[in-house]
Chains A and B, each alone.
Chain A
Amino acid sequence: MDVHEYQAKRLLNEYGAPIADGIAVYSVKQAEELLQKLHGPFYVVKSQIHAGGRGKGKFKELNSNAGGGVRLAYSVDEVVAHVKEMLGCTLVTKQTGCSGKKVSLIYIESGAKIQRELYLSLIVDRSSCRVTFIVSTEGGMDIEVIAEKRPDKIITLSVDPDKGVTPVDTRSLVDALALDGLAREDGLMLFPRLYNAFLEKDMSLLEINPLIVMDNGHLRVLDAKISFDDNALFRHPDIVALRDISEENAKEIEASKHGLAYVALDGNIGCMVNGAGLAMATMDIIQLYGAEPANFLDVGGGASQDQVNAAFKIIVEDPNVKGILINIFGGIMRCDVIAEGVISAIREVGVKVPIVIRLEGTNLEKGKKILEDSHLNIISADDLDSAVEKIVASINGV
């Protein structure tokens, strides 16, 4: 689960991370009322969407000379003018896709003079199986860009889960970032706290880019991104409360309610598969045959009746779907039981597009007979390759 920048900063501030004064506003009126709380001397006006690259992003509704999604302002009037212009518009960044994201929330912060821009993130590293700091003196650009341009400037440090962040760890981090004076003291205090926040709140990513050294010598979190581990949300009601569902895909939310793993894609072949690996492999083969999947959908290893029904509903509600491919490997569930489940779901949901189904496993012949006897518009296929071939042919009207 992702949160907005302002939520991430407020959470880090609870752990003692230095941030600027800021206000989150949903309207121009709110901005006018709350602006007096900020100290200036200048202001940063930031669109709050769950996507990176906001500064260089463009608003769809504004002309191309207009500013991006993050703007500087030197007076209260200027702030208000920016808020008026940005609110309600659609921001397109390199991470939003071409449809962009609507800006309905803006965060306004007091600005600061920047001496240095640094990069710091915490991740769960799969190789060391440990929480790992990634730091660089080359902050302000994406870590992928740093990795390409200055790979020597990226330093990683894995934390021993038994010991936590030791004083030796902290010193090597401030050294790696070449911090001195006040900034060094700030870093020594801040870095173990970031690790504690990461652990206590079950984060999967904490990225501060940039972490800045201000002209007064202190550190400040200028931008922050946090993702939380979905599997740990059950123990963090405070984090769940930060969820902004308007930022998420409605179908994906609906799917997760039924225990289905669903990812919306751009193609026109709806897929229903049991098992994540087989579902990915099915997408791969569809593209091998020159078509595009409309979704990834793992209906679960058992493919229960409730899940099959829910999956059909989600798939047929997608207007792009011109045909459906069902690929189920009946393991412990028998093919005849699955076939009955699929037929009852088709009747209940009322599917109008062609359906190709490939079943495999125990009682296969019985399952096929049930599908044939249903007199529904279902095409049976013997293996995955021929199933894909048949669905691609049927949407192309061959």
Chain B
Amino acid sequence: MSILAHKNTRILVQGLTGKAGTFHTEQALAYYDTQVVGGVHPEKGGDSWISSDGRIVPVFASIAEAKQETGADASVIYVPPSGAAEAIIEAIRAEMSLIVCITEGIPVLDMVRVKALLEKSHSRLIGPNCPGILTPGECKIGIMPGSIFRNGSVGIVSRSGTLTYEAVFQTTHEGFGQTTAVGIGGDPIKGTEFTDILELFLADEETDSIIMIGEIGGCSEEDGAQFLIDEAKRGKKKPVVGFVAGYTAPLGRTMGHAGAIVSDGKGNAVDKMAAMEAAGIHLSPSPAKIGKTLAHILRG
């Protein structure tokens, strides 16, 4: 198995007809025939979207209609920031079980509203401001480059896009391959935290080891570490390699990601690394050594 995205995941695209939506949908369709079953655009319902190699995807006026017509269970959002929160809310109201929001730059107070709705729903939101989810050989939701993946045994979860790719590339290079990679996103308020994904990887039979890549800001690395400690007491334990970016970031500055900021001394890399080490996570000294660190633990 893998987590969240599988061969039979049926995906709707919100923002399909835009530039990013079009580009990445073509990439997804080309990746092992990922099942993109519909697009959504309020004014283009009834139209069709056609990829450059002639694949046809029907466009619907609303998520609810698209879901009913296609039996989709997942939605990916490429809508610009000003309308992205409403797009997520529409997907929650249509009871999509998985919502993946790629959009960067959503106002944080919009996400406060989204989060309140999400907590009362059955939907799971990944992101926003994330690269999405990829299960090698099966399904690509979002913008991760499929070419660097290889089917295997490592579960990867990260707040950063390119550091996810580093971990994927290195685990492919070391011959481990991946079960699934999940980018949870760089925003301060997001749908899914480390803890949620760690829980899924611990439960997934094919995932033998986990890579967890954090960065400064907030306390989701500490929460994830505590979760691993608690689960280990219940006998659920897998080898985990960790990395935290932003050790040298200046105080009070937002480092690219809206959520990457050390304020009032809180959310700094030192505390996160200490919490992760205390949970038995093997920290990689450099982002270039994530794969090697894992190989060292697993192969000695």
Contact = CB atoms under 8 A, between A and B. Distances in A.
The answer to whether A and B assemble together is yes
Interface of A: 124, 126-127, 129-131, 143-144, 147, 160-162, 199, 202, 204, 229-232, 234-235, 261, 263, 265, 273-281, 283-288, 293, 296, 298, 301, 329-332, 360-362, 383-385
A275 B163 contact: yes
Interface string B81-115: 11000000000000000000000011111111101
17 contacts: A129-B111, A131-B112, A202-B107, A229-B107, A235-B82, A275-B161, A275-B163, A276-B256, A277-B158, A277-B162, A277-B257, A278-B162, A281-B287, A301-B161, A329-B166, A332-B145, A385-B289
Contacts of B166: 278, 329, 360
A384 B169 CA distance: 13
A161 B112 contact: yes
A287 B166 CA distance: 20
B211 interface: no
Contacts of A275: 160-163, 256
Contacts of B253: 263
Nearest 10 CB-CB pairs, A to B?
A: A277-B160, A276-B256, A275-B162, A232-B107, A331-B145, A261-B256, A280-B245, A278-B162, A277-B163, A384-B288
Contacts of B287: 278, 281, 285, 384
B286 to A, nearest CB: 6
Interface of B: 27, 81-82, 105-113, 115-116, 131, 143-145, 147-148, 158-163, 165-166, 169, 186, 188-189, 213, 215-219, 243, 245-250, 253-260, 264-265, 269, 285-289
Given A161-B112, A231-B107, A383 B256 contact: no
B194 to A, nearest CB: 13
Contact of A144 (B113, B259, B265): B265
Given A229-B108, A276-B215, 8 more contacts: A129-B115, A147-B264, A263-B253, A280-B216, A281-B243, A281-B286, A331-B144, A383-B288
A279 B145 contact: no
A332 B145 CA distance: 5
Nearest to B287: A281
Contacts, number: 166
A332 B165 CA distance: 10
B267 to A, nearest CB: 8
A287 B108 contact: no
A298 B258 CA distance: 13
Contacts of A279: 255-256
Nearest to B247: A284
B116 A298 contact: no
Contacts of B131: 301
A301 B163 CA distance: 11
B256 A124 contact: no
A321 B86 CA distance: 44
A160 B119 CA distance: 12
Contacts of A331: 143-145, 148, 161-162, 165
B219 A126 contact: yes
A126 B113 contact: no
Contact of B116 (A161, A273, A288, A384): A161
Contact of A301 (B107, B162, B255, B289): B162
Contact of A231 (B81, B116, B217, B245): B81
A160 B113 CA distance: 10
Contacts of A298: 256
B105 A280 contact: no
B256 to A, nearest CB: 3
B147 A362 contact: yes
Nearest to B106: A231
Given A129-B115, A277-B158, A280-B215, A124 B163 contact: no
A359 B111 CA distance: 35
Contacts of A301: 131, 143, 161-162
A127 B219 CA distance: 8
Contact of A162 (B116, B243, B285, B289): B116
Contact of B112 (A129, A284, A287): A129
B145 A204 contact: no
Residue from A147, A199, A330, A331 having most chain B Cβ neighbours under 10 A:
A331
Residue from A127, A273, A360 having most chain B Cβ neighbours under 10 A:
A360
A204 B148 contact: no
A227 to B, nearest CB: 10
Residue from B169, B215, B246 having most chain A Cβ neighbours under 10 A:
B246
A329 B255 CA distance: 18
A384 B218 CA distance: 27
A131 B109 CA distance: 8
Contacts of B160: 275-278
B153 to A, nearest CB: 22
Nearest to A287: B248
Given A275-B162, A278-B160, A124 B188 contact: yes
Contacts of B143: 301, 331-332
A230 B109 CA distance: 12
B245 A329 contact: no
A161 B113 contact: yes
A143 B264 contact: yes
A357 B96 CA distance: 43
A277 B159 contact: yes
B208 to A, nearest CB: 25
A360 B169 contact: yes
Contact of B256 (A231, A280, A285, A360): A280
A283 B216 CA distance: 13
Contacts of B105: 231
Contact of B145 (A129, A287, A362): A362
